Structures are given as C-alpha cells and as structure tokens.
Amino acid sequence: MSTRAAGEFTFIDLFLSHFPRARVPVGPGDDCAVLAPSKGAQCITTDAVVEDVHFTRAWFSPEDIGHKALAVNLSDLASMGAVPRWFVCALALPRDFPRRDLSGIARGMSALAREHNITLVGGNFTSARELSITLTAAGELLPGTAPITRAGGRPGDVLYVSGTLGDARLGLQQLQAGLRRSAAILRQKRPLPRMTLGRLAARFASAGLDLSDGLAQDLGHLCTASRVGAELELERLPLSRAVRASLGSEGALAGGEDYELLLAVPPERTSAFERACLRGEESVTRIGRLTPGVPGHIRDASGRSLRLPAGFDHFRGGRRIDRSGREG
C-alpha cells in the first residue's frame, strides 16, 4: 500500500508507532512539542539526507536511510560533547512511497534513537518528487563542561582523529562497482556517531568537529576558525587495510561521510586524554598538531606545504549519486 492510498494521518500514525511514547509535556500530535526546562546548556543541530545526493534507494534499505538520517545529526551533537535528548523529523515522500518502506525508515531510525536514548517529539510530513528526511536534534552539555567548538584551537595543540578514515568513500566506490556487502559499504550506509568519545573529549579538547566532508576539508575549517595552521603526519593516518590498498592516504583525506571526530587537545592534557580513551575503549590516533602562522595553512612533518584534495561541497560539483547509481 502506498502513501497515496493511506493518507497523511495514517502514515504519521504508522511512523510514530515505531517509537516509544515521548515523555515530555507535549509530544507528537500538536502544533509544537513542549519540553521541560533543562539544567545544562543546549546544543541544537539540523541536517538532511536527500535521495540521489546522500543515498539511492537502489542501494540503501529503508532501515539504512532511517539510521543514516539520525546518525548524521547525532554526530554533530557528539562533536560538541553533548548528551542527546530529543529530535523532530520532517519527511518529504513521493506520493507513491510504499508503507512498508516508511516502516523500514522508522525502524532504522528508532533503533538508533533507543541506543542513544534520544526521543522523537514531533515532526512533519509532506509530498515531494524525491525522498528527503530533515531532522533537528538537541543535546545537553554535562555540568562543568563547555561545548567543543571549531574556534578553540591554539598552536601546539595535538590533533587526534577517531576510528579509521576513508571507509565511507571506499564503500561508495564499491557500491558503484557492483559490490553489495563489505565492511566499507556498512560504514557508508550505517555510520556510527561517536557519542561516548564526544562526551569524554569535552573534558579535554580545545576544539573539534565531526568529519562529514573529509579530513582535508574539515581540518581546514577548524584551522580557519581557530586562526591557526596545522602540521599533518600523513603516515600516521589511521586507515583500514582495504582503504590503504584502494585509496591510499590522499584518497582517505578527501573521503566524506566518515563521521569520525577530529579533536585538538592541549599538550598538557594529552596523556590524561589518551588514558581516558584507553579506559573507555575509544580508538583515537595522533595525526599532527596545530601551528602558528597563516590560518588554514597545512604542511607535513618536514615543513612542506600540502596541497590537500578537496572534500565534498554540495554547491561546487561535489559528490552526487544519480538514479543509476553513478557518482557525479
């Protein structure tokens, strides 16, 4: 049965049935959600996933799409060191969108929401030519912590990155080549927001952000905001065996959608930060340091200026997946 036959309020009820009842003064069903006052400072983010830009239904299951829509917003909260609290969801659906696929989107999204204890409190449905999901999510800073912003870095701060780089880019390339299952494809379809690391890092980091557009581009954003340069140790970049063989360091630098965290930590805090990561079983790797000089200027460990590959940009001919699955 399609959404055309079901009607708007039928599939609103269908979607909401996959989520637990919101424990807020007023939840889904009214013109606005009403939330209880919070003790900590609030972090608010919004992000969208759009068909044939961030995913194609030929490759992504509905559960994958629902997971990814929430994951990219959770990653923003993680990068600020926030504890996730609530979100609202606006879905734009083609008129013939199948009800079973709507249920799948809800299942993928609600599973990740339960994992991170974030509550759906409202949203909106509308019709459109292509599927898109836009979320607004809120988190709360823990007492005694400040938000991790892009602008707090200082010369001498040590750069760390979580996990491994380039997997999502490799996963996209493998999908384009006809492969349907691999560890890299799973990273492309189901990114894992680094929520625990973000809260841990709030005690140590001076600056940071999540890697949505590739390390090369996102490091440039951090350096520009902090008015510093950077020294990058390319040989230390954490790469999976498959990424190292297929993309190499340069390809991994340009790979978007990894949703790992890039963190700058003052040198006097690095030992404590590494011990805390070890205790929390959070994988981080030192990849360089921030330097004085021209904001955004990045060099390698020998002092040579690096011409880094461009990352993803929606408005400069960046990655787009068309209906046949080709990347443009």
Annotated binding residue at 210? yes
Annotated binding residue at 19? no
Annotated binding residue at 273? no
Q: Which residues pair with 321 in a beta bridge?
A: 327
Amino acid identity, position 127: S
Question: Starting from the edge strand earliest in sequence, which strands make up the sheet with 119-127, in order?
Answer: 42-50, 132-141, 82-93, 119-127
Annotated binding residue at 196? no
User: Scanning the structure block, which residue is given the tokens 């805390």?
Assistant: 276
How wide is the angle at C-alpha 295 spanned by C-alphas 293 and 296, nearest 5°? 120
Annotated binding residue at 31? yes
Annotated binding residue at 104? no
Q: Hey, what's the torsion of the CAs at 76, 82, 86, 90, to 10 degrees?
A: -10
Contact between 279 and 184 (Cβ < 8 Å): no
Annotated binding residue at 134? no
CA pair distance 195, 218, nearest whole angstrom: 19
Contact between 95 and 133 (Cβ < 8 Å): no
Annotated binding residue at 21? no
CA pair distance 113, 198, nearest whole angstrom: 17
Annotated binding residue at 64? no
Annotated binding residue at 218? no
Binding site, by residue number, is 31, 45-47, 54, 76, 123-124, 150, 210, 212-213, 257, 312
Binding site for ATP, by residue number, is 123-124, 150, 212
Binding site for Mg(2+), by residue number, is 31, 45-47, 76, 124, 210, 213
Binding site for substrate, by residue number, is 54, 257, 312
